[in-house]
Amino acid sequence: MVPVAFPYHLDDRHRTATATPDDHIRQMLELLLFTRPGERVNRPDFGCGLLDLLFGPNSPEIAAAANVTITAAVGRWLGDLIALTSLDVTADDSRLVIDLTYEVLATGAPAELRLAIGGPG
């Protein structure tokens, strides 16, 4: 099965764009993190809801809560594809910075993702 790229778009040949397996896993991870619980009709508990933190207060306590939420969501929804090796969520001025390192279980390849939510980057 060839993974479809997210967001959906057409490639240069005007066919459905595809992604490499590693890119597909990264895209699934981003989709999980930025989907609000309740946003999916048939999966109301899918998501992590990081975008809900965009206009909220920022503090070390919020970062700690986000850390727990991300760990639980990744374990539940992507636990059969990746294993978290480290997760660091920090409140940096007006931004919430997420540094996530994981291992792709099928290949054993390490990968990392860095996201910053809020304020200027």
Asked whether residue 3 is domain-assigned, the answer is no
CATH number for the domain harbouring residue 34: 3.10.450.40
**Report field, pTM of the whole predicted structure over 0.75:** yes
Task: Give the count of beta carbons closer than 10 Å to the beta carbon of residue 13.
Answer: 7
**What are 3-22's pLDDT values in tens digits?**
888 888 999 999 999 999 89
**What are 69-119's pLDDT values in tens digits?**
999 999 999 999 999 999 999 988 888 899 999 999 999 999 999 998 876
Asked whether residue 26 is domain-assigned, the answer is yes
**What local confidence, expressed as pLDDT, does residue 59 receive?**
83
Instruction: Reply yes or no on whether the pLDDT at 23 is more than 60.
Output: yes
Asked whether residue 2 is domain-assigned, the answer is no
- Please enumerate, as own/partner, the contacts of 113-119 that have beta carbons within 8 Å and a separation of 24 or more: 113/26, 113/29, 113/30, 115/30, 115/33, 115/50, 116/92, 117/50, 117/51, 117/53, 117/54, 118/53, 118/54, 118/58, 118/94, 119/93, 119/94, 119/95
Instruction: Reply yes or no on whether the pLDDT at 56 is more than 90.
Output: no
Residue 56 structural domain: 21-118
Instruction: Reply yes or no on whether the pLDDT at 121 is more than 70.
Output: no
Of residues 95 and 55, the one with the higher pLDDT is 95
Asked whether residue 41 is domain-assigned, the answer is yes
Of residues 92 and 35, the one with the higher pLDDT is 35
What is the domain count for the chain?
1
Asked whether residue 6 is domain-assigned, the answer is no
Asked whether residue 73 is domain-assigned, the answer is yes
